[in-house]
Structure 1
């Protein structure tokens, strides 16, 4: 497995997939359900934007604040803001030392925290594409490989904290992306309206 790619490089790859998905979300789909049972499209956009903003702070070894739930969608201009903030996220994790040492309230390894940002950007772009009837998001193989390894390490604690659901069964011959999604507790075959 190629583990030489920096987190910022992988975030840049994920961003090229996520930004067009968010830009293409129609206003009339904001109330639709998503593969994340706790979020409709609007709430998931707000959550993802909060992640993109707060993980910039973590890259700089500053405190993040996930306690508030900003309504970025309600403020307007959220599609462009997502593009801008995602670019800032990539830049923040590309700064020298961003993926070294520890960061966050739990003093986690910065590389792990960077992978958490990468995971959210990757899987929530998939969630939003599925929820709004867009084509499935193609995920770069390097991102899949890094996240598969990261999820294996995070999964026990993430499930205990309710961040991941229990793993979902996949079909024979499932792709790496499908296996990754399933490991986070998502149904990789979820489609809007409940069909398969």
Structure 2
């Protein structure tokens, strides 16, 4: 079995668990004093990016059970109470459970009409890249789980044309020949290290 085949055998739920295990501590480490700080995502400060990532974590549970997600309104979950960090951790655990269930990766996903595995990888991508954004914005260390980078790079290559036209990804950033796979992934989404 070659490396690509091995990567495809790793379930989305497992990839989410690994990405979530890196994202949860970053969110837990965000102090209230930095909520208005800018992030690498120009349209988001820390608070609004946490709320966006929280929405992703909650709404991407639905495609795992073949329901439609609703991204029309972003709830201010940070404003719902001081336990938002713990609620985020709980929501990530629920997301992982949803995508670890039998059949979650099979077929297509609701109104997105995309392969379910690709939709699940979109959630893993947000957990990975936005955790890096938040770590960067709040002065925390972050290292992507190496095993998620290759499957995400493939997903980004597939999603890029549509994602760029919708403004979800920025234009790719040039990187050096010695750039790590994660830096290349960030660059493909329009982020420079």
Return the offset for 1:67.
Answer: 0.4
The root-mean-square deviation of aligned C-alpha atoms, in Å, is 0.8
Q: What is the CA–CA distance in structure 1 between the aligned matches of 2:152 and 2:164, rounded to whole Å?
A: 16
In structure 1, the residue matched to 2:176 is 171
Is contact 2:164–2:170 with CA below 8 Å preserved after alignment?
yes
Q: What is the CA–CA distance in structure 1 between the aligned matches of 2:74 and 2:146, rounded to whole Å?
A: 32
Cα deviation per residue 1:71-109 (whole Å; 9 max; x = unaligned)?
001001110010000000000001111010011313111
In structure 2, the residue matched to 1:92 is 98
Return the offset for 1:115.
Answer: 0.5
Return the offset for 1:172.
Answer: 3.4
One of 119, 132, 140 as aligned partner of 1:134: 140
Cα deviation per residue 1:118-147 (whole Å; 9 max; x = unaligned)?
000000000000000011x11122100110
Return the offset for 1:59.
Answer: 0.8
Is contact 2:22–2:145 with CA below 8 Å preserved after alignment?
no
Secondary structure of the equivalent of 1:105? helix
In the alignment, structure 1 residue 152 sits paired with structure 2 residue 148: no
Q: What is the CA–CA distance in structure 2 between the aligned matches of 1:139 and 1:169, rounded to whole Å?
A: 20
One of 91, 109, 118 as aligned partner of 1:112: 118
In the alignment, structure 1 residue 59 sits paired with structure 2 residue 83: no
One of 129, 146, 167 as aligned partner of 1:123: 129
In structure 1, the residue matched to 2:21 is 16
Equivalent residues, number: 187
| Structure 2 unaligned regions, length at least 5 | none
Q: What is the CA–CA distance in structure 1 between the aligned matches of 2:155 and 2:75, rounded to whole Å?
A: 28
Q: What is the CA–CA distance in structure 1 between the aligned matches of 2:143 and 2:36, rounded to whole Å?
A: 25
Q: If the length of structure 1 is used for normalisation, what is the TM-score? A: 0.93
Return the offset for 1:25.
Answer: 0.2
Judging by fraction of residues, say which structure has more helix. 2
Please identify runs of 4+ aligned residues in structure 1 that moved more than 4 A.
none
In structure 1, the residue matched to 2:41 is 36
